[in-house]
Amino acid sequence: MPKLKTKSGTKKRFRLTASGKVKRGQAGKRHMMIRRSNKQIRNKRGTTIMSGVDAARVLKYFMPNA
């Protein structure tokens, strides 16, 4: 059986923490920012940890070697 490769889009979007959780960028920061309040914009800075169910799916299907 051939080696399993990590999806190239997944490499760009997700990172793993030292404890194995999946870290992702905040959603809702790409466009139409004029509608959002300054509080929303401020709170969406940086990264966040994915929920367990979604993280498990990402690890299983897109990051098989992680």
pLDDT of 1 > 90? The answer is: no
pLDDT of 66 > 90? The answer is: no
Take residue 16 and report the two structure tokens written for it.
Answer: 């793993």
Please give the domain boundaries of the chain with CATH numbers for all domains.
8-61 (4.10.410.60)
SS3 state of residue 15 = strand
Number of residues written out for the chain = 66
What's the pLDDT tens digit per position in 5-31?
999 999 999 999 999 999 999 999 999
**Mean predicted confidence (pLDDT) in 33-40:** 95
At which residue do the structure tokens 């690890």 appear?
Answer: 59
Residue 24's DSSP bridge partners are: 14, 48
Contacts of 41 (CB under 8 A, 6+ apart): 29, 33
Tally Cβ neighbours within 10 Å of residue 13: 13
pTM, to two decimals: 0.80
